[in-house]
Structure 1
Amino acid sequence: MFSLDDFAQLQFLEGRWKGVAPDGKEFFEEYTRPDPAVFQSHRFPDSAFTGHTDGATISLKDGEVISQWGEFTWKASSIGADSAAFEPVNAPSQFIWRRLDDATLEARQRWTADGKEQEFTLQLTKLN
């Protein structure tokens, strides 16, 4: 069970970020907190941050923190001041966010393919 204070620790996500996708293309994300119990993310094709291509919502409801992106859903298993881990509910992988410093965020995904554990880590750099 998570409280609003626990949920607020996700504030390390807030801001505009630049990353490089597995295919080598740059992407841009913005995380905002429009409501005390909601974080919203949007992905953009370029640094102008216009015309977002997709996004996700992270919300606190009845003590659970749920991340939803399209048809995929994850549930938080831990939240701290510098990290958050999410387990799949209806998704192909788990993911962990970790703040490395005030300007760097790490996102790590783990999944199983053909019976083998797979992992991919990317770093995002804060733009503002």
Structure 2
Amino acid sequence: MLVIETWVMDDDGPVHVSSEMVLKALRSRIDSGRLETWLTSSSGRSLAFVTNAERAMVMLLEDESDPGEHAVDPGAEGASDGFVLSDGQVDEYPDEDTVPMDEAFRLVEHIVGTGSWPADARRVIDR
């Protein structure tokens, strides 16, 4: 029996998101200055999306104690700042540990739709 994992975005109350609507929700949050988004799955996993509106950190965690795995851009040079967390902290990440926005959106949409990374996704397992 196939069980479909569902995802919730806690945005002033839990909002169910599908792969068809997650990008619209993320774009709306970015447009309003909310650059950190956490989604929680029905199986307890978490998907983090933190952006500076040019690049994004995309992380998938199995549970609260899991260091998880994150998307990477091998060979990218330099670092980018402006990753504003919900508590006001502003982070800087090496560009190799973040991905361009189009790739970040593709990854999030696929994970929300299928529960897993795309087969061609470049990622580092931090466990």
For normalisation by structure 1, the TM-score amounts to: 0.32
Structure showing greater relative contact order (alpha-carbon pairs closer than 8 Å, 6 or more residues apart)? 2
